[in-house]
Amino acid sequence: REAAAWETRFEVGQTRDGHRVEVAANLGNTAHAADAVERGAEGVGLLRTEFLFMAHASAPGLTTQIGEYRQAVEALGGRPLVARTLDVGGDKPLPYWPVPQEDNPFLGLRGIRLALTQPDVLETQLRALLMASKDHPLRIMLPMIKDIAEFRAVKVIYDRLLQEIPASQRATDVQLGVMIEVPSSALLAPSLAAEVDFFSVGTNDLTQYTLAIDRGHPELSAQADGLHPAVLRLIQMTVAAAHSQGKWVGVCGELASDAVAIPVLVGLGVDELSVSARQIPLVKARLREFDFADAQAIAQLALSQATSDEVRDALEAR
Ligand code: PEP
Ligand code: MG
């Protein structure tokens, strides 16, 4: 099965009847972009830029960041790069950016909240991404957005940079989107969809925050299942809001590479799946096993269950 998938890895991601679903790579290191392309990635759907920041003793400057991002952009050869802005705090501390001791770091200064406390660092990163992606499609993605106010705060900086940097020196095919990984943002997806260019659902954090289960908890994390009907309903709301405004939706959490979950996500209308590079051929092969109408029926079946176990049982029975 794996050998057959490898043979067809450069085919586009689509269901058996030709419904298009882009299959992209999650990367923590820009040096791995070439390998992702070799495995059939149609783009990078999540570049976790925090690893670049963690690899330095202080925040990397503009030139260093441009060099890093450029490596991914060049390997991608015109395929889109979805780069997430710095997502630290919570379980991902940065030694040179100390956060006061918090009782609940997962509910504290992390993601975009933390980034907005040092807007100059965020601005340098946005500038580096824009300049590194000259003549290439760039999608900038903001982590842990809980409502439109946080998006607007970043948009002010972003719009100013688009004015400041001459168009000849930066990306012109560029979109600014947000991760949906906090339940409030899924519930408020209609208001976000009116202003953002795209959504990408981070099912790891969305599941953690919806079910109130620490994603790394030694005993409980097995219950943090993204196929929980509560999580699926939030994804359904997100897709409906996005599509009604002509925006696209990806999924970049672990759920995107779960063979059982793939038809559910496709049936909910997800446009892109972003997974670790080695999973790409298998995800493309999985997509070719069902028709879009089947996926829609499977999604409805999943949504009508009451627990994640019920969802998995119902899907397996089918
Ligand atoms: C997620 O939360 O699903 C996600 C993709 O982001 P990370 O795993 O980096 O928190
Ligand atoms: Mg996350």
Tell which atom from ligand 1 comes closest to the C-alpha of 48: 9
164 Cα to the center of ligand 2, angstroms: 31
Beta carbons of 28 and 39 less than 8 angstroms apart = no
Q: Which atom of ligand 1 is nearest to the CA of 253?
A: 3
Residue whose entry in the numeric block shows the structure tokens 């106010």? 149
As given in the structure block, the two tokens for residue 239 are 């897709």
Pocket test for ligand 1, best of 204, 211, 257 (most atoms within 8 A of CB): 204
For residue range 99-158, list pLDDT tens digits in order.
888 999 999 999 999 999 999 999 999 999 999 999 999 999 999 999 999 999 999 999
Q: How far is the CA of 253 from the centre of ligand 2 (A)?
A: 8
In this predicted structure, the answer to whether residue 178 has a pLDDT above a threshold of 80 is yes
Question: Residue 93 has what pLDDT?
Answer: 83
Overall average pLDDT of the 7-23 stretch: 97
Mutational test site, ligand 1, from 200, 205, 225, 227, max ligand atoms within 8 Å of CB: 205
Ligand 1 centroid to Cα of residue 182, in Å, is: 11
CA of 48 to the centre of ligand 2 (A): 10
Q: What percent of the chain has pLDDT over 90?
A: 94
The alpha carbons of the chain give a radius of gyration, in whole angstroms, of: 19
**What angle separates helix 203-211 from helix 229-244, to the nearest 10 degrees?**
120
Which residues have CB under 6 Å of ligand 1? 46, 48, 181, 202-205, 252-253
Q: Which residue lies with its CA nearest to atom 8 of ligand 1? A: 204
Least confident among 48-57, 68-77, 86-95, 234-243: 86-95
CA distances for 194 relative to 15, 151, 191, 247, angstroms: 29, 12, 6, 9
pTM metric for this prediction: 0.97
Task: Please give the average per-residue pLDDT across 16-45, as a whole number.
Answer: 98
Distance of alpha carbon 318 from its chain centroid, rounded?
A: 29
Runs of H (alpha helix) within the chain: 2-7, 33-38, 50-54, 62-76, 111-115, 119-132, 148-164, 183-187, 189-193, 203-211, 229-244, 261-267, 280-287, 292-303, 308-317
The rounded distance, in Å, linking the Cα atoms of 10 and 175 is: 25
Best of 86, 179, 201 for a ligand 1 pocket test (most atoms within 8 Å of beta carbon): 179
Nearest CA to ligand 1 atom 6: 202
Handedness of CA 290, 296, 299, 305 (dihedral sign): negative
| Ligand 1 centre distance from Cα of residue 253 (Å) | 5
Q: What is the rounded average pLDDT for all residues in the chain?
A: 96
Q: How high is the pLDDT of residue 100? A: 86
